[in-house]
Structure 1
């Protein structure tokens, strides 16, 4: 079902799946182009969870998807605040609330009051920033980007705001890029249960490694229904364990 929620910058679109009662899962898509590559995959996970009796919401966050808020006006906390706003209704209804985040979506659930967090192939901010730098460098190979301040216009007047940086067609604020340089996903040390699942091809530590396709590495959006069902099973079982 197509719905909406009230964010700080106005109303944003949101998809709803599953029952109106019981625990609710809020799904955070990754930032930038990765969101387009895995959106269909996220919907497949939501539908598989609904078939297991688990409700989900998939919000468009400020500066992302169909949001009317320009990305160039957003810092990481503006986007994370949108995710928090998308979960308010669940808290008002006294429903247990869990976060599911894909890739850099794991950076966006830190403001929300969640009963637990489930992260698939999570990225930290510096990793996202390195990917953006590679994309920017590939678009202008004749210019050598610096290691630290590559996204600042050093020729701009000191008393003027830093202009946004165009990367793969997106205008991204220097504030957001600076946020990424230091931002990391939620950990158990921050409080509450956190489960991490990664692909078999990813050697980083995780609670579970699973076979599947790294959809975010494809040039075009794709899906892996088998993986979506496998992850939905893992999420449903994890929530059932948390609910005991």
Structure 2
């Protein structure tokens, strides 16, 4: 039987943000950075499965809520990539000096909070691509409602306050940061892609692109493939 996950928190901006932990007593801990926005919910169950598998092999892990997401009381329209990086730095502070960071998709945009740390990335996404996808989703939704919306209008809406994109309230700073942010090459990086991807990678993993699903789902095969690769990576 797998050990239950622990509910914990980390201090940020005068209040506590929640996080999940597995194996907090282990010497080595991996900080997981989930995908951003709607992709986050689609992949969360698989990440939790990965955490359980790592715990069985004496590797701890922590999955923080970013301010404005999940159980956080922080207003999402006030969040930005910069704020999320700062929050991750606060979450990582109590961990061991040798920090391991595993990020997924858009999470790779904010793993540079720990410049010199070893990083593991799955299917890194660029900010402009994430932004365009959310804008197209909003435009398609507006079209079904009989409204004509284009990207210029959405950008202007974001500048006036915040814009609702795929159910996410995106403020001016977040919108601007997403327009020109790509994963930073810093520290030692191992990049993983799915086997059907044509993107360059250090390793190809078998599994499904859960972030493309319409609803949250799970993929135990991918969770095991990720856990196995992380175990070998941490052991290096």
How many Å apart are 1:30 and its aligned residue?
Answer: 1.1
How many Å apart are 1:9 and its aligned residue?
Answer: 4.8
The match for 1:151 is 155
Q: Which residues of 2 match residues 56-95 of structure 1 at below 5 A? A: 56-90=61-95, 94-95=96-97
How many residues matched? 228
Structure 2 residue corresponding to 1:216, chosen from 198, 205, 211: 211
How many Å apart are 1:95 and its aligned residue?
Answer: 4.2
The match for 2:177 is 179
The match for 2:111 is 109
Divergent runs of 4+, >2 A: 112-115
Distance in 1 between residues matched to 2:77 and 2:24, nearest whole Å = 36
Matched, 1:18 2:20: no
Distance in 2 between residues matched to 1:146 and 1:233, nearest whole Å = 41
Distance in 2 between residues matched to 1:36 and 1:137, nearest whole Å = 22
The match for 1:157 is none
Deviations 1:48-96, CA, capped at 9 Å, x for gaps: 1111111100100111111110100111101121111110111xxx442
Q: Structure 2: give runs of 5+ residues left out of the alignment.
A: 1-5
Structure 2 residue corresponding to 1:130, chosen from 132, 137, 150: 132
How many Å apart are 1:153 and its aligned residue?
Answer: 3.0
Distance in 2 between residues matched to 1:40 and 1:115, nearest whole Å = 26
Q: In 2 relative to 1, CA 237–201 (structure 1 residues): closer, same or farther, beyond 3 Å?
A: same
Structure 2 residue corresponding to 1:44, chosen from 45, 49, 54: 49
The match for 1:162 is 160
SS of the counterpart of 2:94? helix
Distance in 2 between residues matched to 1:72 and 1:146, nearest whole Å = 19
**TM-score calculated relative to the size of structure 2:** 0.91
Deviations 1:186-232, CA, capped at 9 Å, x for gaps: 22xx3x21011011121111111122111111111111111101111
SS of the counterpart of 1:151? helix
Q: Would you say the 8 A contact 2:33–2:103 is kept in 1? A: yes
How many Å apart are 1:20 and its aligned residue?
Answer: 1.8
More helix by share: 2
Q: Would you say the 8 A contact 2:105–2:123 is kept in 1? A: yes
Distance in 1 between residues matched to 2:84 and 2:114, nearest whole Å = 12
